[in-house]
Amino acid sequence: MLAGMTVLAAAAAEAATEAATEAAAHSGGGGLPQLDAHTFAPQLFWLVLTFGALYFILSKIALPRIGEVLEERADRITRDLEAAQRLKDDTDKALADYEKALADARAKASTIAKDTREQIASVTEGKKASVEKTLAAKLQDAEQRIAATKTKALSAVNDIAADTAGAVVSKLIGQTVSADEIKKALSASAGK
C-alpha cells in the first residue's frame, strides 16, 4: 500500500514539474505559477490527492497511536488516583486506630493510677492502724510502769518519811521509837 502511494507521489511530482515547466513557457517565465488560471485544475487535483493521502496516513497510523497513548495516560491517572484514595483511606484508618489505642492507653493508665492510689491508701490505712495499735499498747504499758513506779515511789516516800520522823523524834526526845509506831502515827495523820 505504501509502495502504491510512493508511485502516486512520484507521478504527482513529475506532473507538477511538467505543469510548472509549461506554465513558465506560457507566461514567459515570470510570475507565480499557482496564480496562473490554466494550472488551477491540476493544482486542485494534487491538493485533494495530497490531503487525502495525509488524512489516510494520519487516521490509520498516527492518530490511533496518539489515542492509545492518551488512553494509557488516562488509565494510569485513574489507577494512580485510586491508589492514592486507597492509601488515604488506609492512612485515615491507621490514624483512627492510633487515636483509639491512645485513648485506650490513657483510660488504662488512669485506671492503673486509680487502683494504685486505692491500694496505697489501703496499705497506708492498715499500717496506720497497726502503728496506732502498737502505740496504744506501748502507751498502756508505759502508764502501767508509771503507776508501778509511782506506787513504789510513794511507798519509798513513806519509808523515808518514817525514817526521817524516827530520826527527828529520837533527836527531840532522846529515845528511839520503833518503825511500827512511826508508821501508825504517819498513817493516822495522813487519814486526817
Concatenating the DSSP letter of every residue in 89-115 gives HHHHHHHHHHHHHHHHHHHHHHHHHHH
Count other C-beta atoms under 10 Å from residue 65's C-beta: 9
Residue 80 placed within a domain:
no
Q: What pLDDT shows up at residue 149?
A: 86
Residue 183 placed within a domain:
yes
Q: What pLDDT shows up at residue 118?
A: 92
Mean pLDDT by 10 residues, the chain (192 residues): 63 75 58 79 92 94 92 96 96 95 95 93 90 90 88 76 77 76 73 62
Calpha distance 54→56 (Å, rounded): 5
Q: What pLDDT shows up at residue 55?
A: 94
Residue 125 placed within a domain:
no
Q: What pLDDT shows up at residue 162?
A: 74
What are the residues whose beta carbons fall under 8 Å from the beta carbon of 12, sequence distance 6 or more? 46, 49, 50
Residue 29 placed within a domain:
no
Q: What pLDDT shows up at residue 52?
A: 96
Q: What pLDDT shows up at residue 20?
A: 67
Residue 48 placed within a domain:
no
Q: What pLDDT shows up at residue 30?
A: 56
Domain containing 177: what range?
144-191
Calpha distance 34→42 (Å, rounded): 10
Number of folded domains that form the chain: 1
Residue 130 placed within a domain:
no
Residue 177 placed within a domain:
yes
Residue 137 placed within a domain:
no
